[in-house]
Structure 1
Amino acid sequence: MRAILIVNPHATSTTPAGRDLVAHALASRVSLQVAQTTHRGHATELGREARRAGLDLVIVHGGDGTVNEVVNGLLGTPAPTSMQSVTVGPVPLLAVVPGGSANVFARSLGIERDPVAATNQLIDLIGAEQRRRIGLGYCVRVVDGRSDDRRWFLFNAGMGLDADVCAAIDKGRRSGEPVSPSRYVRTAIATFFRRKRADPKLSVRVEDGPEENGVHYVFVTNTDPWTYLNDRPVRTNPTTRFETGLGVFGMRTTAVFPSLRVVAQLLSPSREPSSSRLLRTDDTRCVVVRASDPVGLQVDGDYLGERTEVRFVSAPDALDVVAPRADLGVSNHAETGTTPR
């Protein structure tokens, strides 16, 4: 099996020693080349080159943003009128060795959090030819009725609050500030209170339903959970899976007490978010979000800038990944800190 290991050396939890351990272990099982990203968008270029070269497997060692870039390179640009990509030829298998701060995509697939344990797990999965076919989402900017700037997303996207948080995190990262769950929480709280008195700018239309106005921010999910707070999952649409349509979560209020009640529900393992001020839909094929003034857009934690209209679309059976079966979850065979075989 011909494979490439794409490494983001600047990801939160990647190190040169860890990269070498992962590469050495994988090279014992596959014919491996290693490439490190050097600039924004480089992982997309490497994913595109891997597909054109006819490689069998692309392994990503980095955070969610790096995995997103690779997938956009592998699949190409989503076609404007269908739930397919314009990619020509076979698409390599995708595997992930977590290397970021949250690693939502890998954890949602049942991949071990520790890079060494994840490598051992992937070696076993590759040997057993274990793979999973998953659906993705993609978003399309709409300008004057025309669509452009299409982008695949793996697990979540959003307009408003979470996009503003991602923009602040990206700005801090460029200034050398470390990324951590606590920093996300502090930034989210500060952003919420800074924007809470602003009028709602968003309207939401799910498939062919009515347009819902007065929405402050919208989360769109492709799987559950929406993200993680250290070990705790944050669940906006608990029934959403890679095998279903998209989940939609929008808040019609920024009042403190209703917002706190919903946040408590998001962090509860036994409760589904519910509120008279909450717009929530599960398993939808398409949702359109419009803004009276430009608002921020993020996909998989990557801030893309401001938009006034975005269409989010579910793309079923879009990608093959090396992962446990959906009914198995995280494997327990590898212990954190073990040496790759």
Structure 2
Amino acid sequence: MSKRPHIRFIINPTSGPRNKQDVAAQIQAHLDHGKFSHEVVYTERAGHAPELAGEAARCGCAMVVAVGGDGTVNEVARGLLHTETALAILPRGSGNGLARHLQVPMAVDGALRVLNQGHITTIDSGSINGHLFVTTAGIGFDAYISSVFAGSTKRGLQSYVELVMKEVRNYRHLPVKASINGAVIDTHCFVMAFANAAQYGNNAYIAPEADIQDGLLDVCLVRKLDIIKALNLSYSMLTNQLAHADSAEYFKTTHVQVETEEPMMFHADGEYMGKASAFDVQIQPLSLKIVTPQINLV
């Protein structure tokens, strides 16, 4: 009998409403042990998951499962990029942007059923100033919100929307110069989002037409907004209609360069990365193997 493929589960014990023992018990109960052998490890600090994932890939694991939110998924993906080991997701975060784009069930038992099916495909990823992102990156207001949200004890869509409505009135639009497809766009910027997948998370769609396998970034540019336009923008995101909103402009490209007059905040997969005055954003086509339901990923 051939050796069973091995899976490493990487659990972020700080993600999700249930404790880590509960998740480990559900893995034991619902994983198909006739198909797979497995182990469970826990992250001990920020930046630990890429080490654990990279080690698993070098040891020939068939899959590494990120058990956590978008930050954990990003860290595990960093360790698996350009390897033969597939990323899988047990969603345990507040947004779960990649899992929702891929239609991975939010419940642990449902996500494990997808894992048991073992359907693996390959998707694109992106980089912003050398930082990996799998769903979205951005500069401007969304990065500012990421920086504030990181320090908040509240999670979930309602808390996020409340924070946006509180901060949007005082956000200062900054001038940017972006080079996209040979054209230079000189404007003030509320948000410039670089989307590999369709949504930030919580079904808030920033790029509804994004295709995670097309080798292109969907760039969403939102220029100056007043409060009424900001409310309309939020509604359009939450109803998956932003592609048709007059406040957003879209471009498809493989490479974007942005210069700013003063340092601007930026994020990668919702994690605040800091500030910079120049940004280099690129697509990395078909760079990450991933476990998905057997669906069309567009």
SS at match of 2:54: helix
Counterpart residue number, 1:246: 217
Counterpart residue number, 2:157: 181
Cα distance, 1:160 vs. partner? Answer: 1.4
Cα distance, 1:36 vs. partner? Answer: 0.3
Instruction: Classify 1:191/1:328 alpha carbon distance in 2 versus 1 (closer, same or farther; 3 Å).
Output: closer
- TM alignment of 1:30-69, pairs within 5 A: 30-69=36-75
The aligned amino acid for 1:26 is L
- 2:210 matches 1:236: no
Counterpart residue number, 1:160: 140
Cα distance, 1:328 vs. partner? Answer: 7.8
Instruction: Classify 1:100/1:199 alpha carbon distance in 2 versus 1 (closer, same or farther; 3 Å).
Output: closer
SS at match of 1:178: coil
Match of 2:86 among 93, 109, 116: 93
Aligned equivalents of 1:267 and 1:178: distance in 2?
19
Aligned equivalents of 1:137 and 1:271: distance in 2?
21
Aligned equivalents of 2:18 and 2:67: distance in 1?
8
Asked if the contact 2:12–2:72 (Cα under 8 Å) also holds between the matched residues in 1, the reply is yes
Asked if the contact 2:80–2:86 (Cα under 8 Å) also holds between the matched residues in 1, the reply is no
Runs of 5+ consecutive residues of structure 1 not aligned to the other structure: 76-86, 141-149, 330-341
Counterpart residue number, 2:199: 225
- 2:91 matches 1:115: no
Which digits, 9 at most, give the CA deviation of each residue in 1:63-92, with x for residues without a partner? 1100100111222xxxxxxxxxxx5xx431
Counterpart residue number, 1:147: none
Cα distance, 1:14 vs. partner? Answer: 4.2
- 2:261 matches 1:256: no
Q: TM-score, normalised by structure 2?
A: 0.90
Cα distance, 1:263 vs. partner? Answer: 2.8
- TM alignment of 1:268-279, pairs within 5 A: 268-269=239-240, 272-275=243-246, 278-279=248-249
Counterpart residue number, 2:31: 26
Aligned equivalents of 1:313 and 1:66: distance in 2?
22
Q: CA RMSD in A?
A: 2.0
The aligned amino acid for 2:279 is V
Runs of 5+ consecutive residues of structure 2 not aligned to the other structure: none
Cα distance, 1:166 vs. partner? Answer: 1.0
Which digits, 9 at most, give the CA deviation of each residue in 1:302-340, with x for residues without a partner? 1111111111111111111111234289xxxxxxxxxxx
SS at match of 1:132: strand
Which digits, 9 at most, give the CA deviation of each residue in 1:47-70, with x for residues without a partner? 111122222211111111001001
Counterpart residue number, 2:10: 6
Counterpart residue number, 1:74: 80
- Give the fraction of aligned pairs with identical amino acids, expressed as a percent: 24
Which digits, 9 at most, give the CA deviation of each residue in 1:113-159, with x for residues without a partner? 11122112321x22xxx21211111112xxxxxxxxx1211111111
Counterpart residue number, 1:295: 264
Instruction: Classify 1:235/1:178 alpha carbon distance in 2 versus 1 (closer, same or farther; 3 Å).
Output: closer
Q: TM-score, normalised by structure 1?
A: 0.80
